[in-house]
Structure 1
């Protein structure tokens, strides 16, 4: 039986993109065919809007849910919804995390990815430990090409300014035990924030009540689309709410068993053009 979603929402890393963080031509063509059949296409990602643009090569998505739902943008990049982290909590988190050598970024509504200069100087050895590790190439690209560097004192002063608009704190490390320590450090903030993950090697701090599913509600309302008409593709903890509520929930083969258990359907591995294959086999037909 062919499925008939009216809105398809795609996670990026581990889902829409291959292991080189590319949206392949085959995937683009499958998505375009789906769009031509009248289905709205929305990127639903933990990335900032700016970072999300890099691998899609101007693909004409109909909307964007970024920073795990903290920002929602129209197809032309116009911000229509944002939910901010309290600045004092970001400062508290930074002070706690600096006890260890961790890769972390603070993201704002303008897609800036801030890194503390004093901590950055401790990080290069960590990034060169294992060049084969999943996600390491993305971290290096952000570290050398995308990050905005700021001294600790300047960051704390910026966080004292009520005009500063932060939406996410992203933490990465290759040691699961250290990531558990991160969650323990952030736990006291738990009633005021949302702690999630977009992969095995990271932890993300978000505004309370924020999720990809909440972000998608803007587009459902705008286009008059019911939850049962929404298809969600995802692979990680930060896709949990969307996979739980969507009428058509699709987990990737590379997802954990826990995430797969939430889904109605399983798509092939993200590095085998799983999204494109699922679209062809279950929605539009053909190869």
Structure 2
């Protein structure tokens, strides 16, 4: 452990850095500040919109590139774009039509704004969870906003339904877009090859940091590619069993500030 030299530390948000919402525990902020003072780049990798992740990055007091939309957009806190992978306009329109025909809730993200056809329970729930407001534009309106679409999100009622929809989307659009599960009810539709792992690899390369000097921490299925790509990986105490099995180390739960523990143990080498 003493020979571990972590230069880039990448964290998931929900269930890792944050117990709920957008307030970062003071203990975690303190750990980040100590790591940064030691010359380490600490950043976020999230499925959230850039604008929804921004307040969290600002709370950490860092101006670094953050990985948002599950890897589709890497952009610094002050607004410098490092990497962008947008879904082509024709694919956006076709996925919207596909969802409309099946009466699925789909929402799109264009130029870091959120759009849905109807302001239904799923739309309201998402706005409340992310602490932001979207635009209700109708089904035709969804197809008007196709510029810089980082992702589309299909929200279903159960894990089973999500799995079925991902299979249908993959069958219909395989190669044009890819559908991935980010939580039991969410199917994210992004450009093929885009993930938190692709974001982490691109960011490390742009910063000139070897993957061996990267540590990632997370708790969920959509963190697995990133945890596997990083030179060193940490699972939260509240992580899924398969996530713990894939990681080098396990720390305390989110409520017990496992994030701060990881920085203290593996980045700062506190005893």
TM-score range, shorter chain: 0.7 to 0.9
Task: Please tell me whether the aligned partners of residues 30 and 280 of structure 1 are also in contact (alpha carbons under 8 angstroms).
Answer: yes
SS at match of 2:97: helix
Residue 25 to residue 4, structure 1, CA distance change in 2 (3 Å): same
Equivalent residue, structure 2, for 1:258: 242
Task: Please tell me whether the aligned partners of residues 41 and 61 of structure 1 are also in contact (alpha carbons under 8 angstroms).
Answer: no
TM-score with structure 1 length normalisation? 0.83
When the two structures are aligned, how many residues end up with a matched partner? Answer: 268
1:91-130 matches, within 5 Å, as: 91-98=93-100, 102-108=104-110, 110-117=111-118, 120=119, 123-124=120-121
SS at match of 1:13: coil
Shifted more, 276-285 versus 98-107: the winner is 98-107
Equivalent residue, structure 2, for 1:244: 228
Q: Give yes or no for the alignment of 1:234 onto 2:221.
A: no
* Aligned mates of 2:93, 2:28 — CA distance in 1: 40
TM-score with structure 2 length normalisation? 0.88
* Aligned mates of 2:90, 2:75 — CA distance in 1: 26
**CA deviation digits over 1:116-172, x for unaligned, max 9?**
13xx2xx22x689xxxxxxx5xx242688421221211222444xxxx221101223
Task: Please tell me whether the aligned partners of residues 109 and 115 of structure 2 are also in contact (alpha carbons under 8 angstroms).
Answer: yes
SS at match of 1:250: strand
User: Cα offset for 1:100?
Assistant: 5.7
User: Cα offset for 1:32?
Assistant: 0.9
Unaligned runs of 5+ in 1: 129-135
Equivalent residue, structure 2, for 1:4: 5
User: Cα offset for 1:239?
Assistant: 2.0
User: Cα offset for 1:103?
Assistant: 4.5
Residue 80 to residue 261, structure 1, CA distance change in 2 (3 Å): same
* Aligned mates of 2:145, 2:156 — CA distance in 1: 26
1:147 corresponds to which of 112, 130, 134: 134
Unaligned runs of 5+ in 2: none
SS at match of 1:73: strand
SS at match of 1:98: helix
Which consecutive segments of 4 or more residues in structure 1 shift more than 4 A?
99-103
**Whose RCO is larger (CA < 8 A, sep 6+)?**
1
* Aligned mates of 1:115, 1:8 — CA distance in 2: 34
Residue 156 to residue 219, structure 1, CA distance change in 2 (3 Å): closer
